[in-house]
Structure 1
Amino acid sequence: MKVTGLEKERVCDFVAYCKKHRKELDDSYLYDSDLEEFEVTLENPTYVLINEQEEIIGAASFVLDDYHKRGKRARFRIFHSEMENIQFYQEMLQALLTHTTDLEKIFIFIPVTNKKLIEMIEGLKFSVERFSFLLVREDLEVPHVHLPDGYELRAFRPGEDEENWRQVRNAAFATLKGSETPITIEGVAELLTHQDYLEGGMMLLFHQGNPVGVIRGADDEYEDAPIMNIGPVAILPAYQGSGLGRILLRAALEFAKESGYRRTILSVNGENERAKALYIQEGFKQVEAVACYHYFV
């Protein structure tokens, strides 16, 4: 057995390995669209575990894009071995740690049902940072959206609303675990070019002409069927607790229905109990729970 850097000639084998095992893992960066575009670059440091037959039987890869680097952290795309031996995980981890100069920590999301991977991760001295829950809403009726006086809800206007979106999102998530790193105007603009982008799915809420809330609906897939992913749902701190989050959520649900989606999906941090309670009140049900483990480098 040996751990080696992924070579360009074996990217197809790596992609096949990811597809084979992604249902056991957090698949946030293992969708077909992500894997189709995967390349061996500085943003995607990747190592594989090879057996005597030169087959890939393990893989470890970071997502190290501009957003994560600005937050001084790296997220695992995949960390998995078909051989349940902590030594192999240790060797892959050590290889990846050579790419963590100037970083403070690395982190990974693991479904709480994957006890074997959790055992390996904890054996490597990772610790739980937080929990996150995945919620799904079936094809239910959507309550009417009623805006209070002085408020306006409209679709994102490319070339005009990037700064409005950035300000609201960053202020709303400044203390939210995992989302503290502010996004840039360029990062907002990139949302318009993602394969999951839906025309009209990005909306802003204004109060007397000032932006106070944002929400995004994006194309996604869950259990091999189309679904609309909702997020972020962000309200300026000064406006939180006044029912505006419910208004934004219902607007997104209405957009999903108009766009032909029968189901919607979103995720929420475990400590954000108020948001989770809102989603459940609006018809969402918890379908998965994942633990975020981090490791300080």
Structure 2
Amino acid sequence: MTQSRKKLRLALIGWGAINRRIAELLAERSKGDIAIAAVAVRNAAAAINIPAGAELITGPGELAGLNLDLVVEAAGREAVGIWGEAALAHASAFAVASTSAFCDDALLDRLIATAESRGSQILIPPGALAGIDGIAAASLLPLDEVVHRIVKPPAAWRGTPAESLIALDTLTEATAFFSGSAREAASRFPQNANVAVISALAGIGLDRTRVELVADPAAAGNGHQLSARGAFGKLDLAIENRPLATNPKSSEMTALGLVRLIENRMRTLVR
């Protein structure tokens, strides 16, 4: 006799472009084994069209009693500090999309301590990247270098400090406007270079991972070029993602990677 698997109960922190896309994809793909139990927002009046059956919550204490298996955050770096400890206390895992929050070492240490005391896990999704599993595996041996180049159309850099560094509206060719550590890139450009924290935590850390940010008028999507060198050998990888239709600063792949993470919590064959 086959034993039935219990339904996964999920809470989404934030109801912006990424989590709305996650809910849309889960609704299309779900076989009834994943339930969005709650959607957490700062302003309840602004949360429209949340999934049927989901409870709308506005404070971390409201996660208690929801019998959650997984909490997924996609609400910006401040939300990680606000919701993280409660998420780890009331669910077995907390997936963090706004990884730029982990530029704050004290916050990361606090969440790790909470997870250890509660027996829960902090999950770092691959975001808009590919090859993160390879860098993480390679880091078991010494890594000499990890370089992460992020290339996006000028429109994706509007509303960021890039506007004060280059003339986005008159670019005629690919132009690099920042080069530095992953920590600095994610701190200064949290909406666009948040993903640099993912490659850094997978490999040689926030201060040794080098990041270059580029605005390219010829770019059709949001591109990432990863290069790693070390005792394992060499890795060179490039990916160009379609931006989310509702937010050009984020990639469709970010939502897809989170859906894969969620579904893998239920799969017999994890891939």
* TM-score normalised to structure 2 length: 0.27
Question: Larger % of helix: which?
Answer: 2
Higher relative contact order, structure no. (Cα contacts within 8 Å, ≥ 6 residues apart):
1
* TM-score normalised to structure 1 length: 0.26
Question: Larger % of strand: which?
Answer: 1
Structure with higher Rg: it is 1
